């Protein structure tokens, strides 16, 4: 009669199934692969387009013009005393980076099922490469924002003003915060969609709705007091408000609101990594 006793064997092989076995050391060891994926994402996405990286400029410009016409001129929504174009472009620049991180990370398992099933590397490398590659687009749009700020500084609009504040030093921290929040939400969604593929169709629509729940087309000061508390529950709201306060000198910026966004972002990121780590062990069998 055989006994189930590990001491009867010279070598016992056990699978590692711990939720917290995330292998951060492996991620660092494969950092060259991360930058290779970043280069691949940038080249492959624009190599068959006529205008190439110019699309980085075209999308925010046209979105800003539409927002200015619809919400600024027709709806006459306040821009907090700043030029409408600058007000909308600052919000769009911040939102585009967050939404790109979220939407592209949310399809990691589906888009890379082939390579995941053939070769080993830390799976977290793939969503991290998306976050890093999106920095290129964000940087280009940030240049566009700075150019528009220079234009309105040289040709000011009547009854509208803006100025750069000391909060500009928070800028790298805000970018990191948007990346962590988008990454965390994307990891949760991509893990869930391995079993519930219907969620994929709701992501783009849901992100669009979330934008209207963030202060992109209106300032926080414009919101009725009874609804303001709900808008402030959105962790992206304090980030966008601080972003505007840094570049335009307008926005409701406070240490409490930013601390709230930091805590929520870290919690979402933690659960996102844990769920992603659990799912990547057997997702090939379910996708």
Put simply, whether the predicted model's pTM sits higher than 0.75 gets the answer yes
C-alpha torsion sign, points 213, 227, 244, 70: positive
CB atoms within 10 A of CB 175: 19
User: Among 153, 145, 159, which residue's Cα sits nearest to residue 82?
Assistant: 159
* Per-residue model confidence as pLDDT tens digits over 151-200: 999 998 887 888 999 989 989 999 999 999 999 999 999 888 877 777 77
Distance, CA of 186 to CA of 204 (rounded, Å): 12
Instruction: For residue 87, give both structure tokens.
Output: 């007000």
Q: How do the domains of the chain map onto residue ranges? A: 21-285
Distance, CA of 33 to CA of 141 (rounded, Å): 26
User: Among 197, 205, 228, which residue's Cα sits nearest to residue 215?
Assistant: 228
40 to each of 33, 112, 141, 229, how far by Cα in Å?
10, 13, 21, 42
Instruction: For residue 195, give both structure tokens.
Output: 């079993």
User: Once rounded to an integer, what is the mean pLDDT over residues 112-126?
Assistant: 77
User: Among 234, 225, 222, which residue's Cα sits nearest to residue 260?
Assistant: 234
| pLDDT at 2 (0 to 100) | 43
* Per-residue model confidence as pLDDT tens digits over 62-118: 999 999 999 988 888 888 889 999 999 999 999 999 999 999 898 888 877 777 767
| pLDDT at 122 (0 to 100) | 79
* Per-residue model confidence as pLDDT tens digits over 242-273: 999 999 998 888 889 999 999 999 999 999 99
| pLDDT at 3 (0 to 100) | 47
Helices (H), the chain: 24-29, 31-46, 55-67, 84-105, 108-111, 113-116, 125-154, 171-192, 199-212, 225-232, 236-248, 255-279
Query: What are φ and ψ of residue 58, in 5° steps?
Result: -60, -45
* Per-residue model confidence as pLDDT tens digits over 25-74: 777 887 888 888 887 777 666 665 656 667 778 888 999 999 999 998 88
């Amino acid at each position: 009669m055989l006994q189930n006793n590990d001491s009867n064997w010279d070598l016992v092989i056990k699978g590692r199934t711990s939720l917290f076995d995330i292998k951060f050391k492996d991620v660092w060891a494969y950092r060259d692969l991360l930058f290779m994926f970043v280069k691949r994402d940038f080249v492959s996405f624009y190599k068959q387009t006529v205008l190439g990286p110019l699309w980085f400029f075209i999308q925010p410009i046209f979105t800003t013009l539409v927002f200015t016409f619809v919400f600024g001129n027709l709806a006459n929504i306040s821009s907090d005393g700043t030029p409408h174009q600058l007000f909308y472009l600052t919000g769009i620049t911040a939102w585009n980076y967050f939404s790109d991180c979220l939407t592209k990370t949310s399809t990691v398992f589906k888009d890379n099922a082939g390579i995941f099933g053939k070769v080993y590397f830390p799976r977290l490398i793939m969503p991290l490469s998306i976050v890093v590659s999106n920095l290129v687009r964000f940087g280009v749009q940030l240049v566009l924002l700075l150019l528009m700020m220079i234009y309105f500084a040289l040709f000011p609009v009547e009854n509208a003003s803006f100025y750069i504040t000391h909060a500009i030093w928070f800028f790298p921290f805000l970018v990191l915060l948007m990346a962590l929040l988008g990454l965390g939400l994307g990891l949760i969604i991509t893990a869930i969609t391995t079993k519930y593929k219907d969620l994929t169709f709701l992501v783009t629509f849901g992100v669009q709705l979330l934008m209207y729940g963030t202060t992109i087309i209106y300032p926080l000061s414009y919101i009725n007091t009874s609804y303001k508390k709900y808008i402030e529950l959105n962790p992206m709201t304090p980030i966008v408000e601080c972003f505007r306060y840094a570049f335009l000198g307008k926005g409701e910026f406070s240490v409490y609101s930013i601390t709230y966004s930091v805590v929520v972002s870290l919690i979402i990121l933690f659960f996102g990594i844990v769920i992603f780590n659990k799912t990547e062990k057997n997702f090939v069998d379910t996708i």
